[in-house]
A = this chain, B = another copy of it.
Amino acid sequence: MHDDQVRDGEVVLPFDPGAQENGPRCVFIGHVESPWKNRRECPRNVAIARARMQEMGAGAALHIDAPYRPGLEALAPYEYIVVLYWMHQAARHIIVQRPRHMPGRRGVFSLRSPVRPNPIALSTVRVLELDEQNGVIRIDAIDCMDGTPLIDIRPWNADIDMPPDWCERMQSNDHK
């Protein structure tokens, strides 16, 4: 149950989602190559990772396993992709959390924490280079540990992945 990961004042589920015997299985389609070799090193999100990796001159990549490589056809025109990865070391049963970087307690669905019933992380990253043949996608940055299992990639799409009026709002805030 990863009870060593539970902090004072946190609330846990009466069961471990990771030990459930129903629900569909995810398949891993490959893995992440990143400069972060253990959990403590990992930046809190991809924006912080991007800044740190630029400083370090470090790179990252997504490695797609052979059977899934034909799925990369026609990806080349897309500059930004959404990456879904499985945070395999995270506890799944802490439903109310006390994050280190913010005050008070918060429900898991108000957080981007990797600790969640389905420990799926989500980042939008830039494609620098695509090698369809070998299933390697060089990307600008990622926040997870080297070796983290990949479960999906897809083109980022402003219509789907962004509030409809976001840029207009940002612009009018700039002019206030």
Interfacial residues, chain A to chain B (CB-CB below 8 A): 11, 13-15, 17-18, 20-29, 45-47, 50, 64, 67-68, 70-75, 78-82, 84, 86, 88, 92, 95-96, 104-112, 116-118, 120, 122-124, 126, 151-164, 166-167, 170-171
A59 and B24 alpha carbons, distance in the complex (Å): 28
Specify which chain B residues have a CB less than 8 angstroms from the CB of A151 in the assembled complex. Answer: 117-118, 120
**Would A160 and B112 count as touching, CB distance under 8 A?**
yes
A167 and B71 alpha carbons, distance in the complex (Å): 30
Specify how many copies of this chain sit in the oligomer.
Answer: 2
Specify which chain B residues have a CB less than 8 angstroms from the CB of A170 in the assembled complex. Answer: 167
What would 26 A/B residue contacts be, using CB atoms closer than 8 Å?
A13-B67, A23-B26, A24-B25, A25-B25, A27-B117, A45-B159, A45-B160, A46-B160, A68-B117, A71-B107, A71-B110, A71-B117, A72-B107, A73-B96, A73-B110, A74-B106, A75-B107, A78-B110, A79-B163, A109-B153, A116-B152, A116-B154, A120-B120, A122-B160, A124-B160, A167-B167
- Excluding A70-B107, A71-B117, A116-B152, 12 further A-B contacts by CB distance (< 8 Å) are A15-B67, A17-B27, A20-B25, A23-B25, A24-B86, A46-B160, A74-B110, A84-B120, A122-B161, A123-B160, A167-B171, A171-B171
